[in-house]
Amino acid sequence: MARFDDAQRARWLRPNARIYVRPGGRCFMQPDACRFLRPDWKRFVQPGFAPVFLSQLEGKANFNPNQPRVPKGNPNGGQWTYEEGWRNGANRPFSAGRRPRIGHNQGPPLDEPPKVPENKPATKKEQNGFVKGLARWIDTAKQSKKNPVAKYLLLIEAVSWFDEFQHASIISYQDPPAELNELQEAAQGEPKLGYERHHIRMQKPARDDGFPDSMIDSPENVVLIPYWKHRDITGWFNQKNKDPKYNGLSPTEYLQGKTWDERREVGLEALRIHGVLKP
C-alpha cells in the first residue's frame, strides 16, 4: 500500500499533473497541492496570504517541527510519533492501554474533509453548513496527532469566498477549554470576531420563570465563547437527552421551575461537555 501511495503522490509532481485532475476538480485540490505536505511548505504560501489565519491555525493545531519522527527505514518512516522515539524498531505508536485514535484499527477512519463548493453557496444557511462542518473536521483531525495542518492549508487555499467572520469562526472553534473567570472576563471586554456572548443560565427560560434581567445579564452569568460552540450549546439545550437526570426531556424542559443554582449547574455542564470550560 505504501508503494501505491508513493506512486499516487508522485504523479502530482509531473509536468502533466493536470491530466489527473477530474473535470471540475479544481474546486477541491490543486495539482501541485502536495507541496504543502513538505516540511518547508511555508515558502509556497503567497506573501500576505492570510498569514495571521495560517499561523493561528498552526498554533492551535499544536504543530511542532521538532516533534520526534519515526526513523527512516521503518514502515511509517518520517511520520510524527506519538510516543518518544521507537524502541528496538518495534512499531508502537500507542502505549499499552491508550485508547485507539483516528485511523487506528479499532476506530473508524477520519472522514474526508467537507467538499468545498465550487461557487459561494447562495444562502447563508448553506455557507454556514460548510463553515461549521469544516471547523468541526479540523478539530477532529487535530486529535489524530498526525499533523494534519497541511490538509487545512489545502482547504483554506481552495476556499476563495470565505469572509473575515467565517475565517474567525473556524479558528475560534479550535480554542482549548478555558477557566470560567477567563470566559467571564472576555465577555466584559470588546466584542471579538468569531465569538459570541452566551448566558450560562439561558436567557429566555430564566425570564419565562420570572428571573429578572439584572440577574440574567449579570457578569457572573455571561461568558464569551466561540460562535459555533454557542450554536452547538443552544441546540443541546433544546435536544432530548439520554442522561437519566433529564429523564428523556431536553435540558430546557428539565429546567422549568428549577432554582437559580440548578440552572447554573446545567449551564456549566453544557460548557464543560462542549469543550469550552475546563473540567
Partner 1 sequence: MKRKNLLALSQDELVEGFIRAALNQSEALRLEEDAEFNRLFDQMEEIEKELKSRAGDQRRGLIPFYSHPNAQVRYAVAVATLEINREAARNVLEMISERHEFPQAAHANGILEAIKAGRT
Kindly state whether residue 77 participates in binding partner 1, applying the rule CB under 8 A.
Answer: no
Pick the binder of partner 1 from 71, 77, 100, 212 (CB under 8 A). 100
Task: Count residues binding partner 1 (CB under 8 A).
Answer: 37
Q: Which residues pair with 196 in a beta bridge?
A: 225
Nearer to partner 1, 74 or 241 (CB): 241
60 binds partner 1, rule: CB under 8 A: no
Across the chain, where does the E strand assignment appear? Answer: 195-199, 222-226
**Is residue 121 close enough to count as binding partner 1 by CB under 8 A?**
no
Is residue 175 within the footprint of partner 1 (CB under 8 A)? Answer: no
Interface with partner 1 (CB under 8 A), residue from 76, 79, 127, 140: 140
Rounded to the nearest 10°, the torsion over CA 82, 84, 89, 94 is -30
Per the rule left: phi > 0, alpha: psi between -120 and 50, beta: everything else, 145 is: left
Phi, psi dihedrals of residue 93, rounded to the nearest 5°: -70, -15
Residue nearer to partner 1 on the CB measure, 101 or 264: 101
Cell 464569551 maps to which residue? 224
CB–CB of 255/156 below 8 Å? no
129 binds partner 1 (CB under 8 A): yes
Candidate ranges 6-14, 24-32, 179-187, 229-237; the one touching partner 1 (CB under 8 A): 229-237
How would you write 30-47 as a 3-class SS string?
Answer: CCCHHHHHCCCHHHHCCC
- Choose the stretch contacting partner 1; rule: CB under 8 A; options: 58-66, 115-123, 139-147, 198-206: 139-147
**Which residue of 35, 69, 92, 101 would you call a contact of partner 1, by CB under 8 A?**
101
